Amino acid sequence: MPNPSLLILPGDGIGPEVMAEVRKVIAWFSDHRDVAFEVAEDLVGGAAYDKHGTPLADATMARAQKADAVLLGAVGGPKYDKLDFAVKPERGLLRLRKEMDLFANLRPAQCFEALADFSSLKRDIVSGLDIMIVRELTSGVYFGEPRGIADDNEGGRVGTNTHRYTTEEIRRVARSAFELARKRDNRVCSMEKSNVMEAGILWREEVQWVHDEEYPDVELTHMLADSGAMQLVRRPKQFDVIVTDNLFGDLLSDAAAMLTGSLGMLPSASLGAPMENGRPKALYEPVHGSAPDIAGQGKANPIACILSFAMALRYSFDLGDEATLLKGAVEAVLAQGLRTPDLLGEEGRDAVTTSEMGDAIVAAL
Amino acid sequence: MPNPSLLILPGDGIGPEVMAEVRKVIAWFSDHRDVAFEVAEDLVGGAAYDKHGTPLADATMARAQKADAVLLGAVGGPKYDKLDFAVKPERGLLRLRKEMDLFANLRPAQCFEALADFSSLKRDIVSGLDIMIVRELTSGVYFGEPRGIADDNEGGRVGTNTHRYTTEEIRRVARSAFELARKRDNRVCSMEKSNVMEAGILWREEVQWVHDEEYPDVELTHMLADSGAMQLVRRPKQFDVIVTDNLFGDLLSDAAAMLTGSLGMLPSASLGAPMENGRPKALYEPVHGSAPDIAGQGKANPIACILSFAMALRYSFDLGDEATLLKGAVEAVLAQGLRTPDLLGEEGRDAVTTSEMGDAIVAAL
Ligand SMILES: CC(C)[C@H](C(=O)O)[C@@H](O)C(=O)O
Ligand SMILES: CC(C)[C@H](C(=O)O)[C@@H](O)C(=O)O
């Protein structure tokens, strides 16, 4: 059997820097664990626009469709702020999500014990935190039609986006959430605004249907998304798995990520339907953005991207033990006190560089 | 000149209890300060549905349109969860907002010094916090058409809501935000998702236009709403005034409210265009909900509703001194250590009842 294929899309800003550290980790696994990959690299986002005039070339899209897993760094930067909506760096990422049909975005919000004091929340509120947010990623207001900006014929303009969900779109992501819950604390909380949006009512009913018909053993609760935002700040440990739509998931997962105090630490997996070889279509990326302000300075934290690769080991290649090993190596270097600048706050203890952090993790392996 | 008119709509759950305390405060002002109101009371939400079969009777709507200010308690409760969307308690509140055209929802998130330790965030992150969130309240996905749930002719259903903003809707709420900023720290941060929504691009451009043409002296920044959710958790004191749309405002203001650790403390004002007498159309309500689980037990905190009346004194009746007096009385009772159960957490010190809290505030006046 050929080695599984990995397509690496470093993207913009700190993307290439953090991805360089992931490549060290990939090399370690192929040298020491007989876990080898066919690695290819390509462009996405502003980097792709600079070369091809589009944030994702068709050829790159085709390669992503065939890869066993895609690893993405980050996209965007001020240089591209003035570009037309249709060729902005983000459109490259959104095209990947949509055309690969990556409907389930898994965003763990975990508090690393060594970093618990770094959160803006009190230690006892976040210590031991371990939430999995499952965000729908291919529908809702991100993709609904009609959309656009039009003249209103009275000298003004009107901007429109359409929030739209179908039964099947809701059911499939709900199933992902219930499956994950069974391997965790067996609890799912679904969030929407069913008190003001009909699409929220449909969301609630379909999630309930999947529960009653297929996962009656999992505990299901429903919460309005505004209350959800509150409860995440107030008592985040009440949650196990949260399932929500594309837009709410965007905000809520960012808020949840920030609770842990370690945004530079958080990975994500975006999963689609199984391919012929049984593996799901999959894209892995850090939750953080391209951080143009610190790009190229060796200040970026590579851990989120390295842990995204750990998620790839687990979810694409069924290598749970290797994923655990890698996560353990990350925890070990944190326990040793190694910190990139983002993990230091104002005190200004000695920070390590991006590549020192990567080397330390490889050494810990 | 006749006394200004106040329409009181206690609503459901703890609404009537907290409103009873507001009436004590109103009585104190008319007895001691020659600030008298013509007070009338009517039904909204589930209470109105029980009597009239609709969450807001036309006659009540007409009274609200004519009142100098409306004071609302809270709406909703499990008893009404199964009702049709069109007659749910929330529709009563939404009808008031829409037909009175209350486009600017002011939600201060202030941390009361006496309560700073009660936040789930660290004291230094929230102590002295004073943000004003200005949420657009009459448009966006709350009201956009088309909307509803339909069969998709393949055995499934599709739920649709429309997010829609016009130039004028954005400009008028932006003006409210800039006006407020001028009386505060002169900074506005506008939040949207212009990287994925065209309506967000329009939002950003129109807010910028109002700034450049009319308020160039105010500092304006733009932030994506997901980053906004993060930054609110991480470093909330960076903000002065935040302006955002109806749905983002719903989530972000709830998260911000929770930062202060004192949701039972936070008031809101919803303002429209000036009436003939120069006063804006206005509705004042606490940020908290109807809390059916504690209704009728004397456990509710009346302060949010009392401070909503303080906002009415300031924004509807130009009685800034009286508003400050009332806020001072609230701070005084907190400094004395009086706490309703919501302000006590798990420790279980002796809590005062709703009406003891109201009496203490009146005594402090
Ligand atoms: C970059 C952007 C398009 C994206 C989103 O809004 O989904 C990002 O915020 C995310 O959460 O992955
Ligand atoms: C009760 C509900 C309709 C309302 C809203 O979503 O606007 C509430 O959450 C609020 O924020 O005032």
CATH number for the domain spanning A342: value is 3.40.718.10
From the number of C-beta atoms within 10 Å of its C-beta (0-12, 13-18, 19+), residue A269 rates as buried
Closest protein CA for atom 2 of ligand 1: A90
Phi and psi for A2 in degrees, rounded to 5?
-70, 155
CA nearest neighbour of B120 among A212, A122, A181, A274: A122
Q: Is B226 in the pocket of ligand 1 (CB under 6 A)?
A: yes
Q: Is B167 in the pocket of ligand 1 (CB under 6 A)?
A: no
CATH number for the domain spanning B234: value is 3.40.50.2300
Mean pLDDT across B81-90: 91
> CA–CA separation, A147 vs B310, rounded Å?
42
Residues paired with residue B106 on neighbouring β-strands, in sequence order = B134, B269
Kindly give the residue spans of alpha helices, DSSP state H, lying in B75-122. 89-99
Q: Is B285 in the pocket of ligand 2 (CB under 6 A)?
A: no
Measured between alpha carbons, how far apart are the two ends of chain A, in Å? 27
Torsion of CA B352, B355, B358, B362, to 10 degrees: -110
In a domain, B226, yes or no: yes
Same domain, yes or no, for B252 and B266?
no
Chain A residues in contact with B226 (beta carbon < 8 A) = 250-251, 254
CB contact under 8 A, A199 and B149: yes
Same domain, yes or no, for B175 and B229?
yes
Same domain, yes or no, for B329 and B270?
yes
pLDDT digits (tens, 9 = 90+) for B275-317: 999 999 999 999 999 999 999 999 999 999 999 999 999 999 9
Mark which of B212, B241, B259 sits at the end of a domain: B259
Number of domains in chain A: 2
Over its C-alpha atoms, chain B yields an Rg (Å, rounded) of 20
In a domain, B119, yes or no: no
CB contact under 8 A, A163 and B164: no
Cβ contacts of A27 within 8 Å, gap of 6 or more: none
Same domain, yes or no, for B244 and B307?
no
Task: Report the 10 Å Cβ neighbour count for A95.
Answer: 18
List, in sequence order, every beta strand (DSSP E) within chain A.
5-11, 38-41, 69-74, 104-110, 130-136, 144-151, 157-166, 187-192, 219-224, 241-244, 267-274, 280-286
Q: Which ligand is nearest to the CA of A225?
A: 2
pLDDT at residue B81, rounded to an integer: 86
In a domain, B341, yes or no: yes
Which atom, in ligand 1's list, is nearest to the CA of B196?
Answer: 3
Q: Is B230 in the pocket of ligand 1 (CB under 6 A)?
A: no
Q: Using the mean position of ligand 2's atoms as its centre, give its distance from the Cα of residue B350 in Å.
A: 32
Among A191, A233, A258, the strongest candidate for a mutation testing the B interface, having the largest count of B CBs within 10 A, is A233
Same domain, yes or no, for B88 and B5?
yes
Q: Using the mean position of ligand 2's atoms as its centre, give its distance from the Cα of residue A3 in Å.
A: 53
Which atom, in ligand 2's list, is nearest to the CA of B94?
Answer: 3
Classify B70 as helix, strand or coil: strand
Mean pLDDT across B21-36: 94
Q: Using the mean position of ligand 2's atoms as its centre, give its distance from the Cα of residue B250 in Å.
A: 7
List, in sequence order, every beta strand (DSSP E) within A77-202.
104-110, 130-136, 144-151, 157-166, 187-192
In a domain, B87, yes or no: yes
Q: Is A143 in the pocket of ligand 1 (CB under 6 A)?
A: no
pLDDT at residue B347, rounded to an integer: 57
pLDDT at residue A346, rounded to an integer: 59
Q: Using the mean position of ligand 1's atoms as its centre, give its distance from the Cα of residue A204 in Å.
A: 24
Mark which of B225, B259, B293 sits at the end of a domain: B259
Percent of chain B with pLDDT over 70: 99
Distance from the A8 Cα atom to the nearest Cα atom in chain B, whole angstroms: 23
Query: In this complex, which of B160, B167, B202 lies closest to A164 when CB atoms are compared?
Result: B160
Same domain, yes or no, for B184 and B268?
no
Distance from the A116 Cα atom to the nearest Cα atom in chain B, whole angstroms: 12
Measured between alpha carbons, how far apart are the two ends of chain B, in Å? 27
Same domain, yes or no, for B179 and B102?
no
pLDDT at residue A172, rounded to an integer: 98
Same domain, yes or no, for A230 and A139?
yes
Nearest CA in chain A to B227: A254
What are the C-alpha distances in Å from A233 to residues A3, A52, A197, B164, B172? 44, 43, 24, 29, 31
In a domain, A121, yes or no: no
The pLDDT of residue B12 is above 80: yes
**Enclosing domain of residue B238:** 138-259
Q: Is the dihedral of CA B53, B54, B56, B62 positive or negative?
A: negative
Mean pLDDT across B236-258: 96
Same domain, yes or no, for A61 and A174?
no
Which atom, in ligand 1's list, is nearest to the CA of A75?
Answer: 1
In a domain, A35, yes or no: yes
Same domain, yes or no, for A240 and A268?
no
In a domain, A116, yes or no: no
Same domain, yes or no, for A141 and A220?
yes
User: Residue B45 in contact with residue B105, Cβ under 8 Å?
Assistant: no
DSSP characters over A102-125: --EEEEEEE--GGGGGGSSB-HHH
Q: Which ligand is nearest to the CA of A252?
A: 1
Q: Is A93 in the pocket of ligand 1 (CB under 6 A)?
A: yes
Query: In this complex, which of A158, A196, A202 lies closest to B166 when CB atoms are compared?
Result: A158
The answer to the question of whether B94 is labelled as a binding residue is no
Mark which of A206, A233, A259 sits at the end of a domain: A259
Q: Is B232 in the pocket of ligand 2 (CB under 6 A)?
A: no
CB contact under 8 A, A161 and B198: yes
pLDDT at residue B346, rounded to an integer: 59
**Full pLDDT tens readout for chain A, 365 residues:** 789 999 999 999 999 999 999 999 999 999 998 889 999 999 999 999 999 999 999 999 999 999 999 999 999 999 998 899 899 999 999 999 999 999 999 999 999 888 888 899 999 999 999 999 999 999 999 999 999 999 998 899 999 999 999 999 999 999 999 999 999 999 999 999 999 999 999 999 999 999 999 999 999 999 999 999 999 999 999 999 999 999 999 999 999 998 887 778 999 999 999 999 999 999 999 999 999 999 999 999 999 999 999 999 999 999 999 999 999 999 999 999 999 998 886 555 689 999 999 999 999 99
Same domain, yes or no, for B270 and B255?
no
Chain A residues in contact with B198 (beta carbon < 8 A) = 85, 147-149, 159-161
Query: In this complex, which of B122, B144, B163 lies closest to A120 when CB atoms are compared?
Result: B122
pLDDT at residue B118, rounded to an integer: 85
CB environment A228-257: b (16+ within 10 A), e (fewer): bbbbbbbebeebbbbbbbbbbbbbbbbbbb
In a domain, A120, yes or no: no
Give the mutation target among B95, B103, B137, B250 for probing the ligand 2 site: most ligand atoms within 8 A of CB: B250
